[in-house]
Amino acid sequence: MAETIKTKVGFVSGGAGSMPHYKSFLPMIPAEVELDFQGLQLYGNSLYEIGGKKETIVRRVGEFVLNGKWNGVIVTAAPTEVLNPGLYDALQAALAVPFTTALNACVAALRVYAAPRVLLLTPFDARLNELICEHLQKVGITALAPHSFPELAVPKRMTPEEVFELTKKNLDAAGKIDAIYFQGAVLDPIKVLDKIESELKATVIASNPAMFWYLLSKLKLSYPMSGYGRLMREWPALPA
């Protein structure tokens, strides 16, 4: 007998609606949740192309919500938000359903675990990392970003072992931190979240799990699960 769908969630990317790294988090999606992938197609060769398109993003996300009959929506990618100042507030004013951005969900998760000082790991260049750090500083989180890629392009797919070694190297360089924050799912930590937390003794917040936790919690749904790090295993209540 087929599972009853409890909710339909939109997953909106600034670029293509489907990308190879999406496959890694699909196993964590509960059978009762229908996920609808949509792409805004607002950048091609460079993420910077999405800058200055706030009104277009808000309008098209609103159309997706209406046409798809979504119960909630995830607007992915920190670059989309930091390159369009005021995007979160504009979405909040325009949407009638629960939503989150990557930064909003991850900040909420970091607050749950009282983590005001974090190691930030991304697939981005130094300029974008700086913009993310500035955004986090405004909400009371100090982010250290010792690693960046030389150019803002999608890096080659790193194996889980390579992600673990990159994390270990940068954790050693960062010194005392309260959590590790992975932003940008191309640098995919999902298969090694448990290993990082157990072997490196650190809480890990990764953008895709955090967005699902946040939005489903907003929809009054809870799906604690093992294999994807502390946040998903404990499924804490949203911060006040």
Q: With 70 as the cut, is the pLDDT of residue 13 above it? A: yes
Supply the pLDDT for residue 108: 98
Residue pLDDT, tens place only, 67-81: 999 999 999 989 999
Residue pLDDT, tens place only, 99-133: 999 999 999 999 999 999 999 999 899 999 999 99
- Read off the pLDDT band of 135 (50, 70, 90): very high
> What average pLDDT does range 183-205 have in this prediction?
92
> What average pLDDT does range 206-224 have in this prediction?
96
Residue pLDDT, tens place only, 152-188: 554 567 888 989 999 999 998 888 999 999 998 778 8
Among 3.40.50.12500, 3.40.50.1370, 3.90.1860.10, 3.30.70.260, what is the CATH number of 105-206?
3.40.50.12500
CB 225 within 8 A of CB 25: no
SS (H, E, C) the chain: CCCCCCEEEEEEECCCCCCHHHHHHHHHCCCCEEEEEEECCCCCCCHHHHCCCHHHHHHHHHHHHHHHCCCEEEECCHHHHHCCCCHHHHHHHHCCCCEEEHHHHHHHHHHHCCCCEEEEECCCCHHHHHHHHHHHHHCCCEEECCCCCCCCCCCCCCCHHHHHHHHHHHHHHHCCCCEEEECCCCCCCHHHHHHHHHHHCCCEEEHHHHHHHHHHHHCCCCCCCCCCCHHHHHCCCCCC
Rounded to 5°, the CA angle 14-17-18 comes to: 125
Supply the pLDDT for residue 3: 59
Residue tagged 């209540």 (tokens): 237
- Read off the pLDDT band of 1 (50, 70, 90): very low
CATH number at 7-102+208-234? 3.40.50
Give the predicted TM-score (pTM) of the model: 0.92
CB 132 within 8 A of CB 122: yes
- Read off the pLDDT band of 224 (50, 70, 90): very high
Supply the pLDDT for residue 18: 61
Supply the pLDDT for residue 17: 61
| Beta-carbon contacts of residue 199 (< 8 Å; ≥ 6 apart) | none
Percent of the chain exceeding pLDDT 90 equals 74
Between residues 77 and 216, the one the model is more confident about: 216
Residue 210: name the closest of 23, 65, 66, 78 by CA. Answer: 78
- Read off the pLDDT band of 192 (50, 70, 90): very high
Supply the pLDDT for residue 67: 96
- Read off the pLDDT band of 228 (50, 70, 90): very high
CATH 3.40.50.12500 in the chain is located at 105-206
